[in-house]
Amino acid sequence: MKLLHPVLLALALCAGAGSCAAAKPAASKARTAHAKKTAPHPGPAAARHGVKARAHAKATKAAARHAYHHVEPKVDYEGQQVDFTQWSAVTAFADEVALRHGFVRTELEALFAQVHYVDSAVQLVKPAPPGKPKNWQAYRELTIEPVRVGAGVKFWNENAATLARAEAEYGVPAEIVAGIIGVETVYGRNTGRFRVLDVLTTLAFAYPDTPNRAERMAFFRDELENTLVLARQNHVDPLTMLGSFAGAVGMPQFMPGSVLAYGVDYDHDGVIDLRNSAADAIGSVANFLVQHGWQRQETGPLVYPAHVSPSRAWERFLNQGLSARFTARALNDAGVVTDAAPAPDLLFGLVDLQNGADPTDYWLANDNFFAITQYNRSYFYAMAVIELGHAVKVARAEAPAA
């Protein structure tokens, strides 16, 4: 079995276990409608030309999707054919989904008869063995590296106008959106080659024996249901949908529920396609961050490097949730000092990035940093997004003009 890079495996698993578990109704349709209402009205000739151009683009992309979704998918695992239709929990699930969403019950049964059990997914979601210390610098070296930075420059150059549009509309800087897509999939190079229906069915009904087994099985059952709804909405065979071993899909590795809740048809072709449309991926990432607390008015740094005093009075500010809750003044009074001078009443959280046996790095982080942690509940992840996005921005500025 060919496995993904260990860092990408960890990121995909954390994404599956983190923010995407709490899908909420999104405002993407309202945003699209608002954009259409407020756009300048073209003249008759221009309007006719625009309609024809959009129709041609839509037909071309639809044909591409049709071709893509009707080839035999290539997968990175040997799944075991089991008869899930004989599992009472699966049949009960199919009954409920058919009733809630109007699926034909016999069609669901025929679908589950083709699903494979994926033991590799079960093994990969098991908790890591205890005892290995966290190491931010090692993580950083694997994530902020020349291949990924170079791919980021290329992605940004090819999608500069879309990134700029998303920044203007959502208030999320282009480098943050680019950073997320780069950390998740190296700009679409590693989107996953597991059949989503296989891994979600496996994890929904055969999750390993862990303390949170019931909670995780419920999460994956929800995502399995979301996959069926999403496939019907996009007119694709659910067996052709590919993603990570945890069921995350596309360039930004959204769980299916997050595609439904936060996905944006940012190229206005009538379909949210996070695997093939960079525009949809960009708009959806920006929308996700805004829906999870990104503050447009926070234009300063997301993090400030900090030094801590030997008194250790500051320790009470650690592990206080994924939000900025404490004033810079209160942190300073407890012995947290920065080289910069943020306004004393601004709110921050104290972030510790452990480095194995080496000293821990400390940072003051604002609400926009914590919005990134809603995408993946990891300080390492959020910092990697920030640093990768900055590295791509600098490399792009330094690259010779084409």
pLDDT over 80 at 79, yes or no: no
pLDDT, mean of residues 84-107: 97
pLDDT number for residue 54: 45
pLDDT over 70 at 23, yes or no: no
Q: What is the pLDDT of residues 225-271, one digit of tens each?
A: 999 999 999 999 999 999 999 999 999 999 999 999 999 999 999 99
pLDDT, mean of residues 198-210: 97
Contact between residue 355 and residue 135 where contact means Cβ atoms under 8 Å apart: yes
pTM score of the predicted model: 0.81
The maximal CA–CA distance of the chain, rounded, in angstroms, is: 73
pLDDT number for residue 355: 96
pLDDT number for residue 199: 97
223 is catalytic: no
DSSP state of 254: B
pLDDT number for residue 74: 57
Helix (H) or strand (E) holding 351: strand 347-355
pLDDT over 60 at 322, yes or no: yes
> Considering 167, 175, 184, 225, which one is annotated as catalytic?
184
Q: Give the whole-angstrom CA distance, residue 336 versus residue 348.
A: 11
pLDDT over 60 at 27, yes or no: no
Contact between residue 332 and residue 354 where contact means Cβ atoms under 8 Å apart: no
The two tokens of residue 199 are: 């891994």
Domains defined for the chain, CATH in brackets: 6-27+61-130+187-290 (1.10.8.350)
Q: What is the pLDDT of residues 108-120, one digit of tens each?
A: 999 999 999 999 9
Total residues found in the chain within this entry = 402
pLDDT number for residue 115: 96
pLDDT, mean of residues 354-367: 96
pLDDT over 80 at 321, yes or no: yes
Q: For residue 36, give the 3-state DSSP assignment.
A: helix
Contact between residue 147 and residue 189 where contact means Cβ atoms under 8 Å apart: no
Helix (H) or strand (E) holding 360: strand 358-365
Q: Tell me which residue has tokens 């966290």.
A: 134
Helix (H) or strand (E) holding 195: strand 194-195
Q: What is the pLDDT of residues 141-174, one digit of tens each?
A: 999 999 999 999 999 999 999 999 999 999 999 9
Q: Give the whole-angstrom CA distance, residue 251 versus residue 9.
A: 14
The two tokens of residue 176 are: 């943050």
pLDDT band at 132 (very low <50, low <70, confident <90, very high): confident
Q: For residue 144, give the 3-state DSSP assignment.
A: coil
Q: Give the whole-angstrom CA distance, residue 111 versus residue 94.
A: 10
pLDDT over 50 at 369, yes or no: yes
Burial (CB < 10 A; 0-12, 13-18, 19+), residue 104, is exposed
pLDDT band at 399 (very low <50, low <70, confident <90, very high): confident
